[in-house]
Amino acid sequence: MWALWLAALVIISTTHWVYRWRNPKCNGKLPPGSMGLPLLGETLQFFSPNTTSDIPPFIKGRMERYGPIFRTNLVGRPVVISTDPDLNYFIFQQEGKLFQSWYPDTFTEIFGRQNVGSLHGFLYKYLKNMVLNLFGPESLKKMLPEVEHAACRRLQQWSFQDSVELKEATASMIFDLAAKKLISYDPDKSSENLRVSFVAFIQGLISFPLDIPGTAYHKCLQGRKRAMKMLKNMLQERRAKPRRQQSDFFDYVLEELQKEGTVLTEAIALDLMFVLLFASFETTSLALTAAIKFLSDHPLALKQLEEEHEAIIKQREDPNSGVTWKEYKSMAFTFQVVRLANIVPGIFRKALGEINYKGYTIPAGWAIMVCPPAVHLNPAKYQDPLAFNPWRWVGMELNGASKHFMAFGGGMRFCVGTEFTKVQMAVFLHCLVTKHRWRVIKGGNIIRTPGLQYPNGFHIQIMEKELQKDEIKHTST
């Protein structure tokens, strides 16, 4: 008898719990959607790999079923997903008032609990100003020759190889330059390879959060541990042997740490260095690879890009002089080309209080995921949005964020590294199309999990343009 009562109690409790899971408490009307399975939610569907360049199937299917604003549950957390341009814009404009930056616990485990994305208010603004000291326009003007030298040198090296895997090659190039500016890291002189740790980190960054040996997520956490250990050792070495003059961002961070009454701690400083090293190269190399793949398939766009950069050289007094800041800012078509890659699958925020919007209520504490690809690939805004069409941006503002373009976020958290990314891509393309040509060898297929990957790489052969002339002469004889 007692066993029957106990079984009944378990069944009733479980049924009630499942009901509450699927029907969360709300003072108003929740956005439509499904909370998925208890504990798991719809996490498995969200991380399911796909090969489309369109809006991710997880998002697109639910948009068709529920509309532009819907609810789900990811990694045990209730989430409202927004593909609505007006709501997205509202979220970014209300940063620190109605919403604040938030990422799942799995992300904070990866990037550190004191990472800049998880900080708010004065401390976030303080770190943002520190980063602008390195990646702001005035610093980038001075950095421009180094960026160009690095691009030209690597392209020259690659031209002697039969095949180059572009994503890996550009990631290595950008990482080495960023690591030099941040921590004076030289891979040829270091006893440890810092980028190896970041490669392991990246492979599990957007993966199912299962911390078991052998999983991508576990390898990601191990990569972070190794990288953080190296950064901590470097920090201790600098403290033991301080430099007379500031030569990199690490020196600047050390100065801030030693100031009386500073709000900066060693933990925050190390997490900041880690995030900057990652952010400086990974998304940029993905976007560069995507841009060159698109250009390979669209000769008219490539021709106009070449004409823009050849015109820049023709207008110089000395054709061999380096790219100037004025020339960089004049690369209008180049900026239209690099604007077309959809790299970031989602931007997360958290509701600080109960939010009422278009008849829906978002409860306090719920997460909100803004989905940039759904905005960028909206057929109601962009005709044939999946087509590579740089000309669609003609006459439009290309520097900031808007309701219909948010690759770099928006509002007060607009990415401070945006200009650095654009400099890297524009200068690399300048060096590539003015001095070299290329042909595709193999690869280029993508997979999203939901982050962008090239499972088989994108392999190309790079040749100097002078060699092309020699080949023509040789053929004619």
Query: Could you tell me if residue 202 is inside a domain?
Result: yes
Quote the radius of gyration of the chain (alpha carbons, Å): 24
Within 113-165, residue ranges assigned H as helices are 121-135, 137-158
User: How many Å apart are CA 447 and CA 49, to the nearest integer?
Assistant: 6
Report the binding-site residues for heme: 415
pLDDT at 342: 64
pLDDT value, residue 470: 45
Distance between CA atoms of residues 336 and 405, nearest Å: 12
In a domain, 2, yes or no: no
Q: How far apart are CA 145 and CA 288, in angstroms?
A: 19
Q: Which of 320, 323, 314 is nearest to 140 (CA)?
A: 323
pLDDT value of residue 254:
86
Burial of 403 (0-12, 13-18, 19+ CB in 10 A): middle
Q: Please report whether residue 262 resides in a domain.
A: yes
296 lies in some domain: yes
Question: What pLDDT is stored for residue 120 in this prediction?
Answer: 66
Structure tokens at 376: 């960028």
The conformation of residue 398, written as its DSSP 8-state character, comes to -
* Whether 47 contacts 208, CB under 8 Å: yes
- Do residues 250 and 182 make contact, with C-beta atoms less than 8 angstroms apart? yes
| 1 lies in some domain | no
- Does residue 321 fall inside a structural domain? yes
pLDDT of residue 261: 83
Identify the pLDDT of residue 240: 81
Torsion, CA 335, CA 338, CA 343, CA 345, rounded to 10: 40
State the CATH number of the domain containing residue 423: 1.10.630.10
Domain total of the chain: 1
DSSP state of 58: H
Mean pLDDT by 10 residues, the chain (477 residues): 66 65 84 90 88 90 96 92 93 89 74 66 76 83 93 96 95 89 78 69 66 79 83 84 77 85 85 81 88 95 96 90 94 88 80 93 94 87 87 70 67 71 94 96 89 90 72 39
Sequence letter at residue 314: K
Residue 174 lies in a domain: yes
pLDDT value for 439: 96
- Is residue 30 situated within a structural domain? no
CB 160, CB 464: distance < 8 Å? no
pLDDT for residue 38: 86
Quick check: helix, strand or coil at residue 95? Answer: strand
pLDDT at 13: 61
Task: Name the residue range of residue 145's domain.
Answer: 53-476
